[in-house]
A and B are shown apart, each in its own frame.
Chain A
């Protein structure tokens, strides 16, 4: 049996020291953001704040960047919601059909879906851009949501299919005998049983979409629709000397995901680890 020895204690201390070093950038982030202008200039960032103030947050929110920043939060939230709902709906229903039908066609389709995960999206970017332009999907939240759905559906289907294959078929048989329609069987019986993997899909794709910078940079270029990442990219270049304001912006931008993570941290970590394993 395992015992808590002196060595375990030392190991614990060592990991804590490591964790404090690794998280020190986040200390700097909060520390500098809480400083007033008088404490930012000429004082090293790591010196603890003497007179904590929310001034830089107020300046950032009420200043010229304010509407853009809040707009970015809203836009990112809308795009993430559209993409994640679509990935859950289309991912689950497609995987259900593919996983339960074991004929050659559905196996071939599943193989094509898996291959799409490995092939990098880079080469298709230009045609995708031109296609999105033709269909009028550029510069809109809906367009972004649809593009993300297409890009991440293979991941969603991979996760769902792996899970559905472990589900017993008896529930569906019982529903059929009780006269349930196919769609009702899916929505009332199967989909609720999928909730663990739905959580994984929502967390993984939600984080990917929320934090993605590259795709909006291309597909939202020059439009009024700006995600959080684009807002940061456009603002931070302009006010590079007022680090307290920059960091206030960064904190506002990072807060939603961080709060969600701290509330649901177990689900986040299990979602990542479990989703990857399957």
Chain B
């Protein structure tokens, strides 16, 4: 960083070269260079190099060899990966559906008339701002073998429903799902509330006067009006759901026997624990393609249809 008082060299006093055409100049174009360079290198060059690594046997040190599609054929034989793909979709789709449905219901409930709606909104949004790792540890306690859930079940005479939860191959992933949804609902709710605020009350009243019932008003007035909110909330929930990592690492570490491994945890383990950079990159590529496809499909499904209707 140059010192401010220093004289700028090479600038003669007197009239500037006459190339002023516009009335106002909005900064200098090179102001954007540092940010653009950072984005280019971190998002584009790095991704490109990662793409390249996925065709190698690179292990972080020394030379690497081009091995063509070997990593990719390995992916399809790797049961850890196929299990993780299943779990990723399970978590992504269910968390996407649950957080959006419950979030929308809450937003509708809070939207009009409640006296304490601002307080409720503040409380229900609180989970969103908490650290996922910390939240996961709270739930790890709740579903601990001697934790509150099991002691409660025993105390009300439902002892036979006690489970080891996080060490159970069937139930552990449902606990992960619960934690994810618990944190995401508030987020969906706030986006839907913002969407609902744009629906003019007169429109609903007009529909009511025309004899539309509650459900009809909801499907024909509210839903089309909050289309942008639906698109944003569902897209974000889906991408969030595909990337679940913290909750798994903090609560089960991917176990028992890979029952809660997701693509993110597999990629982390392969790449940064076992140092299989090449193989890890190829799983990352599959992951990237899956996310992009889901995002595209999702954008298509929630596109604004208002123009095409009638």
Q: Chain B interface: which of A63-71, A192-200, A243-251?
A: A243-251
Q: How far is the CA of A213 from the CA of B141 in the complex (A)?
A: 20
Considering only residues 24-60 of chain B, those with a C-beta below 8 Å from chain A are 24-29, 31-32, 34-36, 38-47, 49-51, 53-54, 60
Interface residues on B, range: 35 or more
B288 & A93 in contact (Cβ 8 Å cutoff): no
- A19 close to B46 (CB less than 8 A): no
Least distance between B209 CB and chain A CB atoms (Å) = 13
Q: In the complex, which residues 240-278 of chain A have their Cβ closer than 8 Å to any Cβ of chain B? A: 243, 246-247, 250, 253-254, 257-258, 261-262, 265, 268-269, 272-274, 276-277
DSSP majority for the A interface?
helix
Could you tell me if A97 and B113 are in contact, using CB atoms closer than 8 angstroms? no
User: Which of A11, A29, A273 is the one whose CB lies under 8 Å from B114?
Assistant: A11
- Give A contacts to B, CB under 8 Å: 2, 4, 8, 11-12, 14-16, 18-19, 22-23, 25-26, 28-29, 32, 44-46, 90-91, 93-94, 96-98, 100-101, 106, 109, 112-113, 116, 118-131, 147, 149-151, 153-154, 157, 169, 172-173, 176, 182-183, 185-186, 207, 210-211, 213-214, 217-218, 221, 228-229, 232-233, 236, 243, 246-247, 250, 253-254, 257-258, 261-262, 265, 268-269, 272-274, 276-277
Chain B positions near chain A (C-beta within 8 angstroms): 23-29, 31-32, 34-36, 38-47, 49-51, 53-54, 60, 106, 109-110, 112-116, 120-135, 137-139, 141-142, 144, 147-148, 151-152, 155, 182, 185, 187, 190-191, 193-194, 201, 228-229, 232, 236, 239, 243, 245-246, 249-250, 264, 267-268, 271-272, 277, 280-281, 284-285, 287-288, 291-292, 295
20 interchain pairs (CB within 8 A)? Answer: A16-B116, A19-B124, A22-B124, A44-B151, A94-B35, A97-B29, A100-B27, A101-B29, A120-B291, A127-B45, A154-B39, A214-B245, A232-B131, A232-B137, A233-B250, A246-B141, A265-B125, A268-B125, A269-B125, A272-B191
Given contacts A101-B29, A119-B43, A123-B54, 12 further A-B contacts (CB under 8 A): A8-B113, A19-B123, A26-B126, A28-B148, A44-B151, A123-B288, A124-B47, A232-B134, A233-B250, A254-B134, A268-B129, A277-B191
